[in-house]
Chains A and B, each alone.
Chain A
Amino acid sequence: MLREGGRAAVSETALRQPTAAVAQPRVWRGPGRRSVYARRRGRSGLAFVTPFMILFTLFMIVPLVYAVYESLYTTKLIGGTRFSGFANYSTVLQSGPFWGGVIRVVIFGGIQIPVMLAIAFFFATIFDLGVAKWGRFFRAVYFVPFAVPIVVSALMWGFLFDPAYGPFNRLMNSIGFHNFNWLSSGLMVPSIIIIAIWEWTGYTTVIMYTALKSVPRDLVEAAILDDTPLWRIILRIKLPMVRPAIILLIFINTIGAMQLFVEPNILNNYQAGVITNTWTPVINIYSTAISNGEYQLGAAMAVVLAIIIIAISVASLAFRNRRRSFS
């Protein structure tokens, strides 16, 4: 009994939009001219995307272009605003603290994402097998942390990790680890990893579960008829079939990790002196632009961070396509 019921949830294809082979309605195009249907379809298509494109241009493209424009200037309290070319970029590229922050979030993501995916796959498989009683109830329960605003969950974990009064530190003390501090310099990253896993595992589980549900039933049944052991069905049949969902999750979570901001920002209130104003790239951008009033330098940092994120995205898409072409 591999499936809980016949309900196919959201199709896996929904999760792999860009390259998904969603069947396109075929339209016959006469030599040298488009059909009336095609032209009408083109017009209505345009009408549908126009509102989005207007908003996308206004709130994404224009600010992006403006940020790039701003990043080429420097404003001084004494002396005003001057064109400074790539001086801001040179400052960012040579800034040790900036790259230190980038490395920190890469380490953070490099641990948090695989661990979270493994846990989520484990739970999703259990739900998919239908062996767990109350499966729907637990799916809902695991999803709850995702519905808690990040600020609230960071505050809550801050209390749990609190160096003086937090139950977790008391627990460590009681089992012999004296002066243990979850929020010390050495443990801040692991503690935030725990928080992020707590926040995102439920959501990830739901996506994986949905992907597992869409694995064709006949494939699994054929394997069962072949006396394939369960673990092989899970690891050799189901896991490869949900690879597109996993790659998408890696992709989304990597972007999220690169933009780490709220959790360290809040935890700073519980432990002085660990979270610096350059601890993550986004904290650095915020403190440079807003607190230091160096908006253009902040814009240059933001552009550099965006390029790093785009590079990671392109690399992961390329990886994904390469894998696809082999399969």
Chain B
Amino acid sequence: MLSKKRITQLASTGLAGAATAALVAACGGGAPAASSSKSAGASPAPSILAGANCSSSATHLTFWAWVPGMSRAVTEFNATHKNICVTLEDPGAGSGEYVPLDNALKAGSGAPDVAEVEFDLLPSYEIQHQLVNLVPYGANKFKSDFASWAWSQVSQGSGVYAMPSDFGPMGFYYDQATLAKYNITPPTTWAQFAQDAAKLHSQNPKAYLIDFAANDAQWLMDMMAQAGAWPFEYHGGSNLTINWTGPAQQKFASFWQPLISSHEVATVTDLSTQENTDLDSGLIAASIYSAWAPSYFAPNVKQSMGQWRAAPLPQWTAGASVGADWGGSTYPVFSQSKHPAQAAEFSEWLCATDQSWNIVKTPPSSLFPTYLPTLQSTAFKSQTYPISGSSQPNQVFSAGALTIPQTPWPPFMTQLLNQGGTTFGAVMTGKQTLAQAFATFQQQEVSYAKAQGFNVTT
């Protein structure tokens, strides 16, 4: 959902998102989870949000998550499962949670039974054998309840290492008034997109069709996945393929580089104050955003309220329908847990019941479901948002949810996002072309993976 992907990225770079987070928080309202900033070193004491009033004989579980409003689901679970008592703690978004979690896992005690972990980070915990295989606890019976991309993300071999919760199918999210002003309709192919970007920028040299935030390596890789240029192959164990310089990657780079060089796309940090302001004021007309856009972006909107619409992602091949995902979370059980059966029961309830989804799909949680019964329900698809007027953006995002290509993340995503921030940052300042940065990054990632003991194929 919302901030999670961004928070991880900023936090993991060590160049923390304090500013963004503080701003979002300051902008008030139902601002997303970003409100818990994690400026380096100072993590606030975890706030305990639910878990009081349990019977004394109940099995006690600790649960860490930063999704706002999650306490409502925990309270509901505790009320309906008298033999289990879940205590929710919010240690802070992204690294606010991951850093203490990693420390507790290293120390051998102090980890929660269940915690929120984003999709891309799941393999990083799997490789350290920190997660409980949920198959013995009946996880497989839920397989058909989930979008296939999400289920494959939590699976490795015959094991299932987490329950998937929300995700972020991507789309072309645009301000219809701004596009109309420049006489542009949402492009259906990337070729059309490139023409539209040039057309818009030529009419107003201060305005851009979208922002290409290359320094957000997660977003960049999600875009590459849609282009069939996913740069990794990894399925557990010590074998890893890294390929940032193959023909598909070069094709991707050579599509975007002319747009960057001629300044036909903006190059500012995504989800930043500046991007939000430019989107709101019409200087950036659209965004390759995700399903959590309507809830995440909304608090930043002043002038363009009601004008935002969702369209499917532009396609590399006309007539195709290939989607992509940006962000999302899972709920694994940690092997430190003394009560894995009860922890699994909680995670399964949280991610795979109508009871839970009826709560967490609503604000302030506003989770976008991987859980098909909710994802495909008419009520969910036809939901409207003040930012989008009478339109129904979930129609687009729900359809896109079923066409996401596989993204086998390497098991060291915090390193990747950290290095990506620096290496691809050079693309935004014009110091390197995207192709050059891909070559640099290839060498950096291969060298890191080898130092970590992987058998690397390029």
Contact = CB atoms under 8 A, between A and B. Distances in A.
Interface of A: 76-79, 151, 155, 158, 162-165, 184-185, 261-262, 264-266, 268-270, 272-278, 283, 286-287, 290-293
A269 B269 contact: yes
Interface stretch (B7-15, B71-79, B146-154, B190-198): B7-15
Given A283-B15, A286-B40, A272 B428 contact: yes
Contacts of A272: 213, 215, 267-269, 425, 428-429
B252 interface: no
Given A273-B428, A291-B12, A162 B40 contact: no
Interface string B408-446: 000110110111011011111101000000000000000
B19 to A, nearest CB: 4
B277 interface: yes
Given A76-B453, A286-B40, A291-B415, A265 B277 contact: no
Interface in B14-38: 14-20, 22
A269 B213 CA distance: 13
Contacts of B451: 76
Interface of B: 10, 12-20, 22, 39-40, 95, 99, 102, 127-128, 213, 215, 238, 267-269, 272-274, 277-278, 411-412, 414-415, 417-419, 421-422, 424-429, 431, 448, 451-454
13 contacts: A77-B454, A185-B429, A265-B18, A265-B39, A268-B13, A269-B20, A270-B273, A272-B267, A273-B428, A277-B418, A286-B14, A287-B13, A293-B415
Contact of A293 (B17, B215, B414, B428): B414
B215 A273 contact: yes
Given A269-B10, A277-B422, 12 more contacts: A76-B452, A78-B452, A79-B453, A185-B429, A269-B17, A272-B215, A276-B422, A277-B15, A290-B12, A291-B417, A292-B414, A292-B448
Contact of A291 (B13, B22, B213, B215): B13
A290 B99 contact: yes
Contact of A265 (B22, B40, B238, B274): B40
A256 to B, nearest CB: 16
Contact of A277 (B99, B272, B419): B419
Given A269-B18, A283-B15, A164 B414 contact: no
Chain A residues touching B, majority SS: loop
B418 A266 contact: no
A275 B415 CA distance: 16
B349 to A, nearest CB: 32
B411 A77 contact: yes
Contacts of B95: 290
B268 A266 contact: no
A268 B142 CA distance: 43
Given A77-B411, A277-B419, A270 B19 contact: yes
A162 B20 CA distance: 13
B19 A164 contact: no
B238 A273 contact: no
Contacts of A76: 451-453
Nearest to A278: B422
A286 to B, nearest CB: 4
Contacts of B267: 272-273
A155 B364 CA distance: 27
A276 B95 CA distance: 19
Point out which of A78, A268, A273 has the most chain B C-beta atoms below 10 A from its C-beta.
Answer: A273
A264 B16 CA distance: 10
A182 B454 CA distance: 42
A188 B122 CA distance: 36
Given A77-B412, A151-B39, A277-B14, A162 B274 contact: yes
A162 B419 CA distance: 24
A77 B40 contact: no
A158 B426 contact: no
Given A77-B128, A274-B429, A291-B14, A269 B453 contact: no
Nearest to A150: B39
A165 B277 contact: yes
Contacts of B427: 273
Nearest to A291: B418
Contacts of A273: 215, 267, 424-429, 431
A167 B306 CA distance: 30
A18 to B, nearest CB: 29
Point out which of B22, B277, B421, B426 has the most chain A C-beta atoms below 10 A from its C-beta.
Answer: B421
